[in-house]
Amino acid sequence: MKLLSTLILWIGISMTGHAAVILQYHHISNATPASTSLAPELFRAHMAYIEELGYDVIPLSELVAALNNGTEVPDNAVVITFDDGYADNYAPIVEELHSRNWPYTIFVPPQIIDDQVRGYLSWDQIRELAEHGAEISNHSQGHEHLAAKLDGETDDEWLSRVQANILSAEQRIEEQTGQSHRILAYPYGEFAPEILSMLADLDFAAVGQHSGAVDHFSNVQALPRFPFGGAYGGMSGFRTKVRTKAMPVTEFQLSSNGERLPSHILTHDQSWPSLTLLLDHEGPVKASSLNCFASGLGAQEVEALDDYTLVTSPEGYLSVGRSRYNCTAPTGERGRFFWYSVPIIRLDEGDQWPPEF
């Protein structure tokens, strides 16, 4: 496996500040765990707001094709995605999306659908939705933590296992629906640099759950999405997020104690990583206009090294598990921001995957 290439973090090139935003939903229900659920009435309000804005709702495959082909990324475009294939998605999808003729993606873990686990769509339902504009895509076989190595596993064994998982899930989805988009949603939004390289070799695109808009800067194997559920589903947040523009970041780098880190998966000791962002010199954003936030720590100090380089250093420990740095900058349009997010995973005291994951 190409371990050296994993040292290069995600980099891209862009021309303009476009705004294609990918929305991520899990449950649409009042009866499921709050953190991954959005009330049906809020989902209806989200869809009505998109209609009111007049934005184009486009298929994820169309956005990925634009990125892969280097053609212009659609502006003021929205992609709607649902993770896991929950049965409670069925009625809101029919009522809100089919009625408007809007495309959308459902990311399914085929092993869980095959096992007919209670609370999930059946293959019959999935095929029916597919006939009405649903793209059915890959969410791993059984919703595994793909970035976590098993005990005693070598890097090669781990990556072979992950590759087999993704390819067999893709094959099962094709058998059941006739569709194969080669687009993965990382379970829990977790990935590793080695998995990005592997997916690029396999000609797969992938989406995470770090936030931000998509443009040619975005890495096709680590596309951002805005998750909506729990505390993050309300209308004021939705209005801001659906209108964000892609921050023109050409490269990011994490470092700890002055040393560049090879990955966003941190050992336990790398608890205060600083983040360096390089902004596109042709782009509309200056380093001094950014505000950055770290999960659990709030607003962080930002130092502009020059017009296009900035460093933000957290003023406290990141907690063990999943965190994010989010940076925003004003666009000049009221209530509209450039947005960029870096996902971080900090391992537990034995540098193991946290057990509660």
Interface with Zn ion (CB under 5 A) = 83-84, 187
Which CB sits closer to Zn ion, 184 or 320? 184
Which CB sits closer to Zn ion, 187 or 314? 187
The residue to which tokens 């988009």 are assigned? 181
Rounded to the nearest whole angstrom, what is the least distance from the CB of residue 318 to Zn ion in the complex? 23
Which CB sits closer to Zn ion, 170 or 280? 170
Distance CA 207, CA 223 (A): 4
Which CB sits closer to Zn ion, 17 or 109? 109
Residue 224 has which token pair? 């951002």
Position 237: which residue type?
A: G
Outline where DSSP puts E strands in the chain: 20-25, 27-28, 37-38, 56-57, 77-83, 104-108, 134-138, 183-185, 205-207, 226-228, 245-246, 249-256, 259-260, 265-266, 274-279, 291-294, 298-306, 309-313, 321-330, 337-346
Q: Which residue is nearest to Zn ion (CB)?
A: 83
Distance CA 315, CA 239 (A): 30
Residue 262 has which token pair? 């090879």
3-state secondary structure (DSSP) of residue 198: helix
Which CB sits closer to Zn ion, 137 or 300? 137
End-to-end alpha-carbon separation of the chain, Å? 26
CB environment 282-304: b (16+ within 10 A), e (fewer): ebebebebbebbbbebeebebee
Rounded to the nearest whole angstrom, what is the least distance from the CB of residue 139 to Zn ion in the complex? 6
Which CB sits closer to Zn ion, 187 or 343? 187
The alpha-helical segments, DSSP class H, found in 119-191 are 123-131, 155-177
Rounded to the nearest whole angstrom, what is the least distance from the CB of residue 83 to Zn ion in the complex? 4
Rounded to the nearest whole angstrom, what is the least distance from the CB of residue 84 to Zn ion in the complex? 4
Which CB sits closer to Zn ion, 146 or 285? 146
Rounded to the nearest whole angstrom, what is the least distance from the CB of residue 257 to Zn ion in the complex? 35
Check residue 350 and give left, alpha or beta (phi > 0: left; psi -120 to 50: alpha).
Answer: alpha
Rounded to the nearest whole angstrom, what is the least distance from the CB of residue 26 to Zn ion in the complex? 7
What letter does residue 89 receive in the DSSP assignment? G
Which CB sits closer to Zn ion, 84 or 215? 84
The alpha-helical segments, DSSP class H, found in 212-341 are 235-242
Q: Report how far Cα 239 is from the mean position of its chain's Cα atoms.
A: 19
Rounded to the nearest whole angstrom, what is the least distance from the CB of residue 137 to Zn ion in the complex? 12
Which CB sits closer to Zn ion, 199 or 327? 199
Q: Are 45 and 167 in contact (CB under 8 A)?
A: no
Distance CA 244, CA 21 (A): 7
Rounded to the nearest whole angstrom, what is the least distance from the CB of residue 138 to Zn ion in the complex? 11
Closest among 332, 247, 345 to 292, alpha carbons compared: 247
Which CB sits closer to Zn ion, 109 or 273? 109
Rounded to the nearest whole angstrom, what is the least distance from the CB of residue 334 to Zn ion in the complex? 35
Rounded to the nearest whole angstrom, what is the least distance from the CB of residue 187 to Zn ion in the complex? 5
